[in-house]
Amino acid sequence: MNFRRLRQVVKYGWKDAGEISNFENVDKNKLSIFLDIFLCFCKYNVWSNQYKKEKLYSLQREQRKEICLKYQEKNTKRDQWVREFFDNYRFLNKWSSFKYEKSADRQAKRHIAYQSQYGLGDNCFIGYDVILHKHHFSDGIISMGTNCQISEHVNIDYTGGIKVGNGVGILEGVKILTHGHDYLGIKQEKDILPNSKRAFLSPLEIADNVTIGAHAIIMPGVHYIGKGSIISAGSVVSKRIPDNSIVAGNPAKVIGSLEGVNLYSRSKNY
């Protein structure tokens, strides 16, 4: 039983029952409607606003059941997402703490915890205050290869999904965004997440041996950062980065190439 939803259905169900009882052609009183709302919630996880929207109080049994089953699947999935969302922030509240900087053993415990929570590869270094999160009920995931470094105060939004290769360094204060909001209404509706205030997804791949300098920002719309590239500190990246590029500035531009240069790869233990 989802007690958070139970409290909501009691609070808003009673209010909605009062409104429905005053509708024309409704001959049920407030209490009987509320009990019906509560029954639909307990049996099908249907919320009171959905009960009112679909006019379940006026439908026959088979019609009600068909609609309720659709909402049951949708609402159960949504509730699961919400539970995982808050579980993630409880995880971050614990493991991103500075207290795990006090010894190598504590740091190792944090690395293992992040690896287990997010499916990161072996031998990844995680600093303190590293925030990994997603929003808008998306199915986005984060994956990361081996021998990567995420330094302190990094904030990674993986709402749109992010794939990080091997030997990637994400340095202090970097912010990575994989979703944005189209408040001007430029994007087509098919690109917009439902029930999200015009949010859109922007999946990102960071290829092997990329270094993202301190306090750089990777904006939504960047779908690929090329293999072996270096993003200078403080850069604001707003478009695709080719392989073996050196980029800098706001907006970031390619200022050099590392093609053919034998760069050090993060293949050793941290």
Catalytic residue list: 181
> DSSP characters for 62-113?
HHHHHHHHHHHHHHHHHHHHHHHHHHHHHHHHHHTSGGGGS-HHHHHHHHHH
- Kind and range of the H or E element at 156? strand 155-157
- Kind and range of the H or E element at 16? helix 3-21
Over its C-alpha atoms, the chain yields an Rg (Å, rounded) of 24
Q: In what order do the strands lie in the sheet with 169-170?
A: 125-126, 149-150, 169-170, 211-212, 230-231, 245-249, 252-257
